[in-house]
Amino acid sequence: MSHPTPPAPQFADAKSAKAQAKGEKAYRKANRPWYKKKRFILLAAIAAIILIVIATSGGGEETPSGGGSDSTSAQEPAIVVSAQEMIDVLEGNALNAKNTYEGKRVTVSGFVGNIDASGDYFALDPEPDAFILTGIQVQTSEEFLDQVSSFSEGQAVTVTGTITGVGEVMGYSLEAETIE
């Protein structure tokens, strides 16, 4: 689908001839097929890159958990420790406590301290009726609401979960998986 170019008139000076040649070149470039234009090539390259990225990254999310429905079986075993041991490490060296426990699964034995009125968390103390500032705050989900509402202060419990935060002022934050 090419368009006929008008016949080139004869020009007396070189400047007019150059201008005419430039105009003809621009006319041919503007009337070339759509698939030969830079816009189309650039868009096609971007689309190809996106498709390659999607193809190489798609479906890989299920592999780390082994494809099973029980993700706790694929996790590393929990570190078994008492609340008193964790508090001692924290009070001795907060950085060491962070390096030792943050992001790790733990099974901690202790005693129920303060229980949040909304049931979002409770304190896990090293001994019954302990008054400590840097403790273990057990974050609970809705599945533990009935269980936690039946607790009483000073009751012995064992919690398995992941330490999500460590601080020298606030202590440990433990995301509960199981509470016994």
In a domain, 18, yes or no: yes
pLDDT in tens, 167-176: 888 899 999 9
In a domain, 99, yes or no: yes
In a domain, 84, yes or no: yes
Print burial letters for 136-156: b (CB count within 10 Å at least 16), e (below 16).
bbbbbeeebeeebeeeeeeee
Whether pTM > 0.75 for this model: the answer is: no
C-alpha 126/C-alpha 110 separation (Å) is 5
Helix (H) or strand (E) segment spanning residue 105: strand 105-115
How confident is the model at residue 11, as a pLDDT?
58
In a domain, 62, yes or no: no
160 and 106 in contact (C-beta within 8 Å)?
Answer: yes
In a domain, 5, yes or no: no
User: Residue 63: pLDDT above 60?
Assistant: no
Choose from 6-20, 46-60, 155-169 the range with maximum mean pLDDT: 155-169
User: Residue 139: pLDDT above 50?
Assistant: yes
Count of domains forming the chain: 2
User: Residue 125: pLDDT above 50?
Assistant: yes
The CATH code of the domain that includes 85 is 2.40.50.140
Enclosing domain of residue 159: 73-179
In a domain, 107, yes or no: yes
How confident is the model at residue 67, as a pLDDT?
43
Angle between helix axes 83-92 and 94-101 (nearest 10 degrees) is 130
Of residues 21 and 39, the one with the higher pLDDT is 21
Q: Are residues 77 and 152 in the same domain?
A: yes
